[in-house]
Each structure stands twice: as structure tokens, then as C-alpha cells.
């Protein structure tokens, strides 16, 4: 049949189109992402750069694991991630529910609520740094409204390790709750109102409707919001450095920056590379475990025989 | 069980008194609703979109706050109760089946919240599932089901709670035309079997006619007429009802009335018709000379020329199988006539017409009310 070759030609052309369309992105990623990643991973296993006769070594990793500050950073990061993401989720969910009922002035409230999100972390850090200083605006404010005595200024930044952690969690929450709220709110607005109404007609009070209908139907949105927040929370550092400085509340990302940028010696630079590989593995690992545990990989149509 | 001839009126199951709903302190969704629904009755709220029929149903369900008036169900004032305490159930227009639950879980939801025993829940779910013919689908999730099947799940869920009042908000309007007619029959059969007092909202007058014990016709947030399908069809309360009910709807002719002894003569530029008997008395008592004459399409007959009231030229013919709808133009107005299918009528043909005199409707030209 003379038709066959022509049909095959057309089909080949059509099949190639998507690959041609994604080619620029793939090339971009190979040059600007894959290459540096290979470089960093490789570099973390070298004693010095290859052209200076570097050889394979685990010394960089050993240096990381022997460093007590590293372990402190792991613990701090873990605590911050768990507490701040949980706190942020519940507050953001509550705010989203509130704005979703569309009370009078809710759009203005929404506008107010998303202001912190538009500020860069450096600005937030600087703002809270000047606010929390002994002669900062927060103390002045508290004195002005008569809540504390001028002789009794609160030393926010000089507190214990624990109080520093609380402070960071609160400042971080202040900044990222809007981000989480927007994601959750858009999920809520995508639900048909009849779903919750049916829940109320068929015997549910508001709490039961929320727990048995709204939250399960928002599952995909919640997973998305949580995974984005967890990844970002593991990488918290700038705000801590802005408020307290390096090594006052060690966290993982801060240690990478410290080793690579602040200490001008190759052994620290290579230790920093090893640390960044560790953090990268950690972030991917945590994300994977979270997605697995939340059932995001499950086929939504595979609930046969569940009675 | 009451006997056939003992037809005294029982206490109404549902009483709406002076019910009204206003949005944002300005827009009236429902202006005034007064209605009594009897036990085991199937009442249909019918009206064009925006007439307030759905708003009214949502107030009965407790999904909208009432602005004024009261709702009494089985002697209990439920006006301000949350939906869950009202002993009602509802079928939503877009089904509102919860996608994260299996069919079984959807139907069992309300029963579980009522803390019914496992065996009782199981029995009820299987019973209602069989009633709507989805007993094979209990373990499926709604995403895998067709619209018709989802509608059946919504129905089963509503039946499972055995409510005092069963609300249905345009439940068939998302189904295709063929399935809609099938479900109509099934719904009626289910109603006859369960005897659940029901309110059904629709904008489809043929759906209302075929299902209702009584039809409540609404317009602009108010009731225009309440009556049996025969009432609203043969004794339409005003021109709105006459023009809304029936496919095709009533034809209207502006006429002038002249008294001619016992009889009255109604004259239209194209015809004049003599009315006698009680109709004539009513028209005389009414006193107004300008009226609107309403004639249903099947009450215009094609007759031999000598018996005819007027002759017209056929504009369009719409064959419907068992009958044909003929459109003609009289004084610039399109008039539709239903004619039997025997004898094919062609466009351009001349027809000689007369009206079935005992079935004419008369309306006040100003108020549009029935005379």
C-alpha cells in the first residue's frame, strides 16, 4: 500500500513534536543544573580539585559527622521543621476557613494577611532584628502600652537556646503562613459548596463535616502545601543569621553557607560540599517518605472491595 | 391507613408561613411563601430560573437563613434549627456525592453519625441500594460511575435516612433527555412505594406535570398558583401560568367584548366568536371590554371551511410522530396548533380553524389574572 509510508511519516512527525518542545528545557537543565550537581557531588568526595591531583576520599564526610555543631544543626532543624510546619499548617488552615466564609471585609483581610509573604527573608530578618533588639521597637512598644517596665526590658536575642528557637519559629510562621493559607484557600474554593452542605444535611455538625468531608477532599492540596513547606523549612537559615548571626542557632543550611562562604579554606569548602549533598539527600528522603505516607502515590481508583 | 372515602384533611406535614429571603439587605430571593404540604404528598416547585424555588427549598433544608417567616415540620418549628436536626434529606442538582468515599460509605454516612448498629446500617444500605438498583456498585467510588449512577447513589443516600421530608433540587436536570424520562418514572414509583412526603424543584414543566400531586408555580419570589396538574393546565390562574405550562404553551388573542343579549361576542381583527352560558355571565360580571382570550394548541381544530372561524396559511410544520405542531401567523403573532398525525400538512397550505368553545380561557388584559 502506498498509503502506509505516508501515514508512518506523519505519525513520526507528530510523535516527535513533544520532544522538540521540551528540548530547550532539557538542555538548560543539563547545563545549569545537572552539571553543577555532578560537580558538587563529585567534589565532595575529593581531597582537592582534580587538576591539583585530588584523590577519592571520605574525609570531607568524616569531618561533617565528627563535628558536634553538625549534630546540633540536625536536631535544631528537625525541631524547627516539625513544630513550625505543624503550627503553620493549623493556623493557615484556620485562616483559610475563615476567609472562605466570605464575611464582610474578608477580601481586605486577605490582602492584609498576605503582606508578610511579599517581603523577602532579608527584610523580614532585618525588621525583626531591629524589633527584637534590647532597644528595639518591640520593647519600646511594650513599654509604651505599659505591659513592661522600662527597667525590665526583655532580652529577646539573649535568651536561652530554647527561647531563640521559639522566636525563630514564630517569626518564620509570621512570614510563611500566608503562603500556606493561599494554597489551602485555593483548594477550598475549588470544592463544590454542595459537598459540605450535603454533609450538614446528612447529620454532620460543622466539626464532623470539616473532618470527614472537607479535609479528605482537600487531601491533594494539603499534601502540596505541606511538601512545599517542609522542603522550605528544612532549608531555613537566612532569617536565623539575620536575627542572631552565625553559629548562635546552628541549622543545616546555615552550616553549608558558613563552611563554603565564611571560612576561607579549602577543607571547609569541601566539608560544605559534603554537607550540601547530605542536605539534598535528606530533603529528597523526607519528601519521599512524606508523599509515601500520605498516600500521594496511591492510585485514587484502587479502592475496590473496601466495604 | 385511611380508607378511600374518609378524605378529611389531615394535619399538614409542612407549613410555610410568610417565608421570605433577602440577600445583602436588598435583593429578594423569595418575597412571600405560604404553603401547606400534606402527608405523603409529592409537591413540585416549578418556575423559571431566578424565581426563588431553589432558595425556598434551601431554606426548608436549613442551608439558607430565613429573613422572615416560619417553617413548621410535623408540628415542630424548624426555622432556626441546623440542617442536621430537621429530619429532612436532600438530593442535590449536581449529586454532591463525596468522591473520597465508596458508594456504601456515602449511603451509610448519615446512619453512622446517628450511631446506628453495624447490622442495621448494613441492612438499610442494602435495602435502599436495591430500591435504586445500585446494589452491584456498593464498593465502587463515585469517580468510576456515570452521571445516572451517581444520581442513583444520591437518591439512595437520601432514602437511607427515612426522613420526614424528602427534598429534591432539580435532581434530573444534569441527566441526558432519555435517562431523565426513565428516572422520572422510577422516582414516582419510589415515592409510591415509600410514601415519603416530597418536595421537588424543577424548571421543566413537563417533569412537573408528570410527577406532581400538586404543583406550586412561582415567579419573582412569589407563588402564582398552587394546584394539581389539571388545575394549572385547565384552570391556569393567570397568563404567566397559561404561557408557562404546556408544550407548546397557550396562544393568546387580544379581543374586544360586546354584549349580544344572553350571549357575549368577542371580536378579534381576524375572527369573532359568540360565548354563551356561564362563561358569558362571568365575562359580563367582569365588566371590562378589553380581554385576552387564551386557547391551548390542541383546542384549535382544523375543520371544513363552512364551520370555520378563520382561515390561515401554514408557516412551519414540526412533526412529532404521534402528532404534528403547526405554526401559523395571525395578526403578527405566531400561533401554534397541535394536529393529529393523520394527513400530512405542508407549509403554505391553507387551513380552516375553529376553537373548542367550552375550553377557552379568559384573562384580564391589565392584571393578566384569569376571569
Contact B113 A192 (CB under 8 A): no
Residue B88 sits in a domain whose CATH number is 3.40.50.300
Q: How confident is the model at residue B281 (pLDDT cuts 50, 70, 90)?
A: confident
Q: Look at the domain A78-249 and name its fold.
A: MetI-like fold (1.10.3720)
Report the pLDDT value the prediction gives residue B231, as an integer from 0 to 100: 94
Is B7 inside any structural domain? no
Residues B153 and B89 in one domain: yes
Judge contact between A305 and B137, C-beta under 8 A: no
Write the pLDDT tens digit of every residue in B114-159. 999 999 999 999 999 999 999 999 999 998 899 899 999 999 999 9
Report the pLDDT value the prediction gives residue A2, as an integer from 0 to 100: 57
Is B223 inside any structural domain? yes
Judge contact between B301 and B308, C-beta under 8 A: no
Q: How confident is the model at residue B7 (pLDDT cuts 50, 70, 90)?
A: very low
Report the pLDDT value the prediction gives residue B3, as an integer from 0 to 100: 41
CA distance A91 to chain B (A): 25
Which are the contacts of A238, defined by CB distance < 8 A and separation ≥ 6?
A121, A122, A125
Report the pLDDT value the prediction gives residue B6, as an integer from 0 to 100: 43
What sign does the CA torsion over A11, A13, A19, A21 have?
negative
Residue B349 sits in a domain whose CATH number is 2.40.50.140
Cα–Cα distance for residue pair B312/B329, rounded to 1 Å: 7
Contact A201 B88 (CB under 8 A): yes
Closest CA relative to residue B212, chosen from B199, B224, B225: B199
Report the pLDDT value the prediction gives residue A299, as an integer from 0 to 100: 59
- Asked if A306 has any chain B CB less than 8 Å from its own CB, the reply is yes
Residues B54 and B189 in one domain: yes
ipTM for this model: 0.85
Report the pLDDT value the prediction gives residue B5, as an integer from 0 to 100: 42
Q: How confident is the model at residue B249 (pLDDT cuts 50, 70, 90)?
A: very high
Portion 158-217 of A in contact with B at CB < 8 A = 192, 194-195, 197-205, 208, 212-213, 216-217
Report the pLDDT value the prediction gives residue A301, as an integer from 0 to 100: 47
Mean pLDDT of all residues in B333-356: 90
Identify the domain boundary among B190, B215, B244: B244
Model confidence at B330: pLDDT above 70: yes
Residues B120 and B215 in one domain: yes
Report the pLDDT value the prediction gives residue B253, as an integer from 0 to 100: 94
Is B146 inside any structural domain? yes
Q: Which residues of chain A have pLDDT under 70?
A: 1-3, 299-307
- Asked if B141 has any chain A CB less than 8 Å from its own CB, the reply is yes
Residues B217 and B259 in one domain: no
Contacts of A195 in chain B (CB under 8 A): 96, 98
Residues B74 and B141 in one domain: yes
Residues B156 and B18 in one domain: yes
pLDDT, chain B, mean: 90
Residues B267 and B334 in one domain: yes
Contact A304 B100 (CB under 8 A): no
Is B328 inside any structural domain? yes
Cell of A212: 470527614
Query: B interface mutation test: which of A197, A202, A217 has the most B CBs within 10 A?
Result: A202
Residues B262 and B190 in one domain: no
Contacts of A192 in chain B (CB under 8 A): 94, 96
Between A126 and B252, name the one with better pLDDT.
Answer: B252
Query: A interface mutation test: which of B25, B61, B99, B109 has the most A CBs within 10 A?
Result: B109
Write the pLDDT tens digit of every residue in A160-170. 788 888 889 99
What residue numbers bound the domain in which B98 lies? 14-244
Query: pLDDT above 90 covers what percent of chain B?
Result: 71
How many structural domains does chain B have? 2
Pairs of CB atoms within 8 A across A/B:
76
Mean pLDDT of all residues in B103-110: 96
Residues B183 and B56 in one domain: yes
Structure letter (DSSP) for residue A51: G
Write the pLDDT tens digit of every residue in B56-80. 999 999 999 999 999 999 999 999 9
Beta bridge mates, B329 = B334
Residues B200 and B298 in one domain: no
Beta bridge mates, B257 = B266
Q: Mean pLDDT check: name the lowest of A123-132, A242-251, B234-243, B354-363.
A: A123-132
Write the pLDDT tens digit of every residue in A52-65. 878 888 999 999 99
Amino acid at each position: 500500500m502506498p498509503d502506509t509510508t505516508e501515514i508512518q511519516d506523519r505519525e513520526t512527525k507528530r510523535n516527535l513534536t513533544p520532544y522538540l518542545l521540551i528540548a530547550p528545557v532539557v538542555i538548560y537543565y543539563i547545563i545549569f543544573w545537572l552539571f553543577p550537581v555532578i560537580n558538587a557531588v563529585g567534589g565532595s568526595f575529593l581531597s582537592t580539585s582534580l587538576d591539583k591531583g585530588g584523590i577519592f576520599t571520605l574525609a570531607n564526610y568524616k569531618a561533617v559527622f565528627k563535628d558536634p555543631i553538625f549534630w546540633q544543626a540536625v536536631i535544631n532543624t528537625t525541631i524547627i521543621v516539625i513544630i513550625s510546619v505543624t503550627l503553620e499548617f493549623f493556623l493557615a488552615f484556620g485562616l483559610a476557613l475563615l476567609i472562605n466564609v466570605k464575611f464582610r471585609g474578608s477580601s481586605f483581610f486577605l490582602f492584609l494577611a498576605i503582606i508578610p509573604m511579599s517581603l523577602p527573608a532579608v527584610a523580614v530578618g532585618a525588621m525583626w532584628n531591629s524589633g527584637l533588639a534590647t532597644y528595639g521597637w518591640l520593647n519600646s512598644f511594650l513599654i509604651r502600652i505599659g505591659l513592661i517596665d522600662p527597667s525590665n526590658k526583655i532580652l529577646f536575642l539573649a535568651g536561652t537556646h530554647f527561647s531563640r528557637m521559639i522566636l525563630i519559629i514564630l517569626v518564620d510562621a509570621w512570614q510563611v503562613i500566608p503562603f500556606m493559607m493561599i494554597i489551602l484557600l485555593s483548594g477550598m474554593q475549588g470544592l463544590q459548596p454542595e459537598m459540605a452542605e450535603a454533609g450538614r444535611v446528612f447529620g454532620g455538625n460543622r466539626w464532623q463535616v470539616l473532618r470527614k468531608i472537607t479535609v479528605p477532599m482537600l487531601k491533594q492540596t494539603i499534601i502540596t502545601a505541606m511538601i512545599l513547606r517542609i522542603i522550605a523549612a528544612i532549608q531555613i537559615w537566612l532569617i536565623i543569621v539575620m536575627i542572631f548571626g552565625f553559629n548562635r542557632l546552628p541549622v543545616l543550611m546555615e552550616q553549608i553557607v558558613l563552611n563554603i562562604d565564611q571560612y576561607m579554606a579549602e577543607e571547609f569548602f569541601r566539608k560544605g560540599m559534603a554537607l550540601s549533598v547530605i542536605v539534598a539527600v535528606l530533603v529528597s528522603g523526607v519528601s519521599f517518605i512524606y508523599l509515601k505516607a500520605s498516600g500521594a502515590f496511591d492510585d485514587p481508583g484502587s479502592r475496590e472491595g473496601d466495604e | 391507613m385511611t380508607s378511600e372515602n374518609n378524605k378529611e384533611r389531615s394535619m399538614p406535614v409542612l407549613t410555610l408561613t410568610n417565608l421570605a429571603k433577602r440577600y445583602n439587605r436588598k435583593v429578594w430571593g423569595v418575597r412571600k411563601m405560604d404553603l401547606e404540604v400534606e402527608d405523603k404528598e409529592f409537591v413540585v416547585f416549578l418556575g423559571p430560573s431566578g424565581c426563588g424555588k431553589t432558595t425556598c427549598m434551601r431554606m426548608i433544608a436549613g442551608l439558607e437563613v430565613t429573613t422572615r417567616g416560619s417553617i413548621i415540620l410535623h408540628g415542630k418549628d424548624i426555622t432556626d434549627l441546623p440542617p442536621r436536626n430537621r429530619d429532612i434529606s436532600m438530593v442535590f442538582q449536581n449529586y454532591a456525592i463525596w468522591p473520597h468515599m465508596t458508594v456504601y460509605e456515602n449511603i451509610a454516612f448519615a446512619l453512622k453519625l446517628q450511631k446506628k448498629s453495624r447490622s442495621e446500617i448494613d441492612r438499610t444500605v442494602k435495602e435502599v441500594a436495591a430500591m435504586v438498583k445500585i446494589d452491584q456498585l456498593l464498593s465502587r467510588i463515585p469517580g468510576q460511575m456515570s452521571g445516572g449512577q451517581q444520581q442513583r447513589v444520591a437518591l439512595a443516600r437520601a432514602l437511607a435516612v427515612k426522613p420526614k421530608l424528602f427534598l429534591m433540587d432539580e435532581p434530573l436536570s444534569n441527566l441526558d433527555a432519555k435517562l431523565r424520562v426513565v428516572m422520572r418514572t422510577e422516582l414516582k414509583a419510589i415515592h409510591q412505594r415509600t410514601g415519603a412526603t416530597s418536595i421537588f424543584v424543577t424548571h421543566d414543566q413537563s417533569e412537573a406535570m408528570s410527577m406532581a400531586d400538586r404543583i406550586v408555580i412561582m415567579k419573582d419570589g412569589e407563588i402564582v398558583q398552587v394546584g394539581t396538574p389539571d388545575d394549572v393546565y385547565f384552570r391556569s390562574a393567570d397568563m404567566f401560568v397559561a404561557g408557562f405550562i404546556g408544550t407548546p404553551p397557550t396562544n393568546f388573542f387580544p379581543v374586544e367584548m360586546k354584549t349580544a343579549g344572553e350571549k357575549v361576542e368577542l371580536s378579534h381583527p381576524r375572527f369573532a366568536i359568540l360565548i354563551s352560558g356561564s362563561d358569558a355571565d362571568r365575562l359580563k360580571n367582569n365588566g371590562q371590554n378589553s380581554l385576552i382570550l387564551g386557547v391551548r394548541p390542541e383546542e384549535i381544530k382544523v375543520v371544513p371551511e363552512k364551520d370555520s372561524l378563520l382561515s390561515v396559511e401554514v408557516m412551519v410544520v414540526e412533526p412529532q410522530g404521534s402528532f404534528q405542531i403547526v405554526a401559523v401567523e395571525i395578526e403578527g403573532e405566531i400561533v401554534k396548533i397541535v394536529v393529529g398525525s393523520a394527513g400530512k400538512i405542508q407549509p403554505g397550505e391553507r387551513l380552516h380553524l375553529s376553537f373548542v368553545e367550552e375550553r377557552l380561557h379568559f384573562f384580564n388584559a391589565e392584571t393578566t389574572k384569569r376571569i
